[in-house]
Structure 1
Amino acid sequence: MSENTRCDLAVEAREMLTEAHGEEYEIPGVEVKQKTVGGYIYVTSVQVKTEEGAKHLGKEKGDYVTVEMPARFFGQQKIYEEMCKTCAEVLKHLSEKILTSEQDTVLVVGLGNWNITADALGPRVIDSLMITRHLKEYMPEEIDEGIRPVCAISPGVLGLTGIETGEIVKGLVQRVQPRMVIAIDALCSRKVERVNTTIQFSDTGITPGEGIGNKRQALNEDTLGVPVLAIGVPTVVDAATIAGDSINWVLRRLSNEAGEKHPLYRVFSELEGEDKYELIRESIAPAFGNFIVAPKEVDAVIADISDVIANGINISLHKGIGLSDIDRYV
């Protein structure tokens, strides 16, 4: 069974607050930065600095970064390379205070169910990683300078293994003793427009299964004893989110054509984003259950995005390594 993580980034929480209070609303203890790469890649960084800011957003203190990519970049080599480099820069920024030596080992964990395409992001990333820990130990003379010891695992999901993912990862951390863990998972988005168009990073860890109400043991510094960077891509969306976004589009059209006096507009416009979502979810669940939907082109999308993330990790962890060098080790 899929264990998608909820798309729970601070960017979305901030958007909900600005929708409620206006675009000029500044959240105390939260710093937001935005930049554009190449004119088509958008990077939004949200740093939650204080407990007050964490309370406002409902997120832990830490750094949250969203990389928005063109919806149809697939097959375009220039954009693909820029995406890889952008992901590498984000990871370098998040890990620069953690990795202080080229000998620091990194454990990469590909979360998810490899039997379900939309949930196979983590395992697919592992397939394209430069795995070097064993080479550093047994063939050091064959390894270039700047190559860091990296090991990886795709632990599967509880339904396949009968073992909590957190238990597997914790045991590995105790045995391997990495300086840092990178956990990759597919996400369940709370906005249709974010599905397969964003890569989300944070330094606060990750909770598998949260997106579909199947919350498992968290993977973070408190549970594993080492810092955990999380990488996620919204690959699916639930029926309530699709219905909610559809209603919002209808409301915008009603506002433009019939004005804000329309009864339907008045009913739904008074509801906050989360209240609206819960109302819709509770209304459709008895009749239809909790549908989780993936786009029809999910196979191609997962293949391309997993390569982007893997190459971003490869470039960020190994000094002096570029895209042209990766084939020597993969």
Structure 2
Amino acid sequence: MSNIRTDLALEAREMYQQNANQESEVPGVEVENAGSKDISVTRVKVTSSEGVEAMGKPMGSYITLEVPRLREKDQDLQEDVCKTLAKEIYNLIKIDKKSNVLVVGLGNWNVTPDALGPKVVSSLMVTRHLLEYIPEQIDEGVRPVCAIAPGVLGLTGIETGEIIRGIVDRVKPDLVIAIDALASRRLDRVSTTIQIADTGINPGSGVGNKRMGLTLQTLGVPVIAIGVPTVVDAATMANDTIDLVIDSMIKQVEQGSAFYETLKNMNRNDKYALIQEVLSPYIGNLMVTPKEVDTVIEDVSKIIANGINIALHEGIELDDVNRYVH
């Protein structure tokens, strides 16, 4: 696999095909495309060890919603994304209608690009306590849901995975849903893409931090991960920019320059390594995020929260959510 940083299975698949110079499917990987022009849905399923090696991702299902106009604050579109997200989450949930669900909002609420998880938790229908103390006032079909935003190691001094494992041991949920900010290798996917996976998640992996994973193996219960890329690695961005500039120059020059052709024919990993070597002394391991990231996080967190709300609670519509969210 390439060392270009991405958390998206869709991009891992694209990079494998690019590095192999082929358009045929990755071995051990099944792909299904659905959705519409406004909301593209790509379902990638890693089915074998060969696929794991090729993709650098654990075996399981990865569903990606690409919504190019997500930043435009179109309310109708946002509602459509909520419903599409809810449908995809519902299809991954394999638990009883009365089963208890723990939602974990990963990230640092003091850093806007990393505040997606805590923001989602703040807009979530938390119902476990209501069903315990005032069940007669709760609508039929509402599931017991509890939530936690545990912060990050730098704030608490405790590994996030250890906190969650302690809560799981005590609360004994039947399912954990973890939400986290991700990293992409393409600027156009930042804040316009939502990934759902049934393989769990490694907190902090998007920015190069290796932490204890939240998975079936570490927690003892199934874990569904939902993430949105909010940052892109600076070297990756520079790499893509150079590719665009080279393509433009070659089109403008009839024969093309030998220099440009040499750059174009360089292996993508070699270009990335060269750019990283040049940038590192000056900017270190820099991650880039859009300037309007605060409003983007606000909008996307509500979309994800409502998608989870609709998926978990049978018969609940968007108009019903406000009665349970404080």
Q: Distance in 2 between matches of 1:240 and 1:259?
A: 30
Contact 1:109–1:122, Cα closer than 8 Å, also in 2: yes
Count of aligned residue pairs for this structure pair: 321
| Alignment-mate amino acid for residue 61 of structure 2 | D
Q: Give 2:12's aligned residue.
A: 13
Structure 2 residue 30 is the aligned partner of structure 1 residue 59: no
Q: TM-score, normalised by structure 2?
A: 0.94
Q: Give 1:44's aligned residue.
A: 42
Closer, same or farther in 2 for the Cα pair 1:48/1:243, shift >3 Å?
same
Q: Give 1:106's aligned residue.
A: 101
Q: Give 2:315's aligned residue.
A: 320
Q: Distance in 2 between matches of 1:21 and 1:70?
A: 27
CA deviations 1:138-184 (Å, max 9, x no partner) are 11111111111100000001111111100000000000111111110
Q: State the SS of the aligned residue for 1:247.
A: helix
Contact 2:71–2:192, Cα closer than 8 Å, also in 1: no
Equivalent residue for 2:66, pick from 42, 65, 68: 68
- Structure 1's unaligned 5+ residue stretches are 1-5
Q: Give 2:265's aligned residue.
A: 270
Q: TM-score, normalised by structure 1?
A: 0.93
Q: Give 1:3's aligned residue.
A: none
Percent identity over the alignment? 56
Q: Distance in 1 between matches of 2:175 and 2:209?
A: 26
Q: Aligned-pair distance for 1:208?
A: 1.3
Q: Give 2:281's aligned residue.
A: 286
Q: Distance in 2 between matches of 1:299 and 1:207?
A: 24
Contact 1:16–1:273, Cα closer than 8 Å, also in 2: no
Closer, same or farther in 2 for the Cα pair 1:82/1:261, shift >3 Å?
same
Q: State the SS of the aligned residue for 1:33.
A: strand
Alignment of 1:1-330 (within 5 A): 7-22=6-21, 24-37=23-36, 39-95=37-93, 98-99=94-95, 101-258=96-253, 261-330=256-325
Q: Aligned-pair distance for 1:13?
A: 1.2
Q: Distance in 2 between matches of 1:273 and 1:145?
A: 54
Q: State the SS of the aligned residue for 2:161.
A: helix
| Alignment-mate amino acid for residue 194 of structure 1 | R
| Alignment-mate amino acid for residue 116 of structure 1 | V
| Alignment-mate amino acid for residue 58 of structure 2 | E
Q: Aligned-pair distance for 1:213?
A: 2.1
Q: Aligned-pair distance for 1:79?
A: 0.3
- Structure 2's unaligned 5+ residue stretches are none
CA RMSD of aligned residues (A): 1.6
CA deviations 1:80-102 (Å, max 9, x no partner) are 1101001101101111xx21x12
Contact 2:8–2:184, Cα closer than 8 Å, also in 1: no
